[in-house]
Amino acid sequence: MYLDDPQVTDLFVNGAAGLFVDRGAGAVAAREWRATEEEVRDLAVALIGLGGRHIDDASPCVDVRVEGGIRVHAVLPPISPEGTVLSIRVPRFGEATLADLQRAGMFDDRVRGRLDAAIARRENLLVTGAAGAGKTTLLAALLGEARAEERIVTIEDVAELRISHPHHVRLEARQPNIEGAGGIDLARLVREALRMRPDRLVVGECRGEEVRELLGALNTGHDGGAGTLHANSLHDVPARLEALGALAGLDDRALARQAASAIGVVVHVQRGADGARRVAGLGRPVVDGAGRLSIEEERWEAA
């Protein structure tokens, strides 16, 4: 019922406490929905199973993608003391084009022209924003504008990027089994992807040491690449990259030189109080006078 509602973007089940539904203006309790903790746990097991994984007391936190690009994250007690917790992200744009997003009000003609130019010039892109701001949707639309002759290789924890392009190769990280073996992380996948002759190398979300491999790749002739990054504002991007660089053993100055050389444009998206997702800023990474990373903002008026 809720998944059939075209306005629903997220569903949250907080154990027996109930269901909360986000239709673009924040999560609101669904008073009509009732379920016991046992029923919620059974639902979590079933949904995670649809994504090809297993959740139990030995593996109580699992993230999967199911049919239609729906992303499901589940946590079992005692990790979630008040009951099984489900977080369900529902993609509503499908394989959206830049034209679709422009019609939806994400950006105006001036920004559209800048985005088109970035793709045509094969600038390396970093799309930033908070959770649910529309980073993945915008990145997919941008990549869909790449020439049909280009080979796009995307690397993600959970494959979410849905790109309307004839030559798109997906790589997805694998979690270790209950013995702690068999895991393949994003950093490993970046190294593997470099052997696949990508024309555009894309990391769906930089959240750890894979930032070192991505920046390294983009600094060695792999132009046209892209990634996404959690950041609350355009000027929070340097601090976020420095934190990830530290995980990879890069000091602030080394990270600044790598990022300024590797990334051509940062596109920041925000979700407003009205639920609308908009491009809120564009910028270019530069090294400041102290040798640290900074963002030089491009001046324009947002839509």
Within a domain: residue 3?
Answer: no
Within a domain: residue 288?
Answer: yes
| Window from 27-36, 101-110, 178-187 with minimum mean pLDDT | 178-187
Residue 156 CB coordination number (10 Å): 20
Confidence of residue 246 (pLDDT cuts 50, 70, 90): very high
Flag whether pLDDT at 89 surpasses 50: yes
The residue from 40, 59, 89 where one domain ends is 89
The residue from 34, 57, 89 where one domain ends is 89
Same domain, 21 and 108: no
- pTM > 0.85: no
Same domain, 75 and 185: no
Same domain, 83 and 102: no
Place of tokens 């990022």: 259
Same domain, 138 and 268: yes
Q: What total number of domains does the chain contain?
A: 2
| Mean pLDDT, rounded, for 122-147 | 93
Same domain, 274 and 200: yes
Q: Which of 17, 11, 15, 35 is nearest to 84 (CA)?
A: 15
pLDDT in tens, 95-124: 789 999 999 899 999 999 999 999 999 999
Within a domain: residue 2?
Answer: no
Same domain, 53 and 124: no
Domain that includes residue 57, residue range: 10-89
Flag whether pLDDT at 302 surpasses 60: no
Same domain, 72 and 113: no
The residue from 42, 57, 89 where one domain ends is 89
| Mean pLDDT, rounded, for 184-200 | 89
- Rounded distance between C-alpha atoms, residue 121 and residue 132, angstroms: 28
Within a domain: residue 204?
Answer: yes
Same domain, 169 and 81: no
Same domain, 53 and 119: no
Same domain, 240 and 105: yes
Instruction: Give the CATH number for residue 237.
Output: 3.40.50.300
Write out the two tokens for 23: 């239709």
Same domain, 53 and 129: no
Same domain, 174 and 250: yes
